[in-house]
Amino acid sequence: MAEAMIQADGLVKIYKSKETEVLALQGLDLIVEEGELTAIIGNSGSGKSTFLNMIGGLDRPSAGSLVVGGKNLFTISEKELVLYKRDTVGFVWQNNGRNLLPYLSALENVMLPMHLSNRGKKRAKALELLEMVGMSHKKHSRLNMLSGGEQQRIAIAIALANSPKLLLADEPTGSVDMATANYIFDVFTELNQNGQTILIVTHDVALSKKVRRVVAIRDGKISSERFLKEKYADRLKEVTIDWREEDTQDEYVILDKAGRVQIPKELISAMELNSNKVKVELKDGKVILSGVEEPNSKKQLEKQPQKT
Nearest to 174 by CA among 60, 44, 68: 44
pTM to 2 decimal places? 0.87
In this structure, which amino acid lies at residue 187? V
pLDDT at 216: 94
Q: What CATH number does the domain located at 4-88+166-262 have?
A: 3.40.50.300
Residues whose CB is less than 8 angstroms from the CB of residue 174 and which lie 6 or more positions away in sequence, other chains included:
94, 202, 203, 204
Render each residue's pLDDT in the chain as its tens digit; 308 residues. Answer: 567 999 999 999 999 887 888 889 999 999 999 999 999 999 888 899 999 999 999 998 999 999 999 999 989 999 999 999 989 999 998 877 778 898 999 999 999 988 877 666 788 999 999 999 999 999 999 988 998 889 999 999 999 998 999 999 999 988 788 888 888 999 999 999 999 999 999 999 989 999 999 999 998 999 999 999 999 988 888 878 888 899 999 999 988 888 888 887 888 888 887 888 888 888 888 888 888 876 665 555 565 565 55
pLDDT at 224: 93
DSSP-derived pairing of the beta strands 221-228 and 213-218? antiparallel
According to DSSP H, which parts of 122-228 are helical?
122-132, 148-159, 178-193, 205-208
Beta bridge partners of 67: 7, 72
CB-CB contact of 262 with 221 (8 Å)? yes
Beta bridge partners of 129: none
DSSP 211-271: SSEEEEEETTEEEEEEEE-GGGTT-TT-TTS-TTTS--EEEEE---TTS-----HHHHHHH
| Chain region(s) in the chain for CATH 3.40.50.300 | 4-88+166-262
- Over its C-alpha atoms, the chain yields an Rg (Å, rounded) of 23
The 10s digit of each residue's pLDDT in 75-112 is 999 999 999 998 999 999 887 777 889 899 999 999 99
Gap between the Cα atoms of 142 and 102, Å rounded: 6
The 10s digit of each residue's pLDDT in 130-139 is 999 999 999 9
pLDDT at 296: 62
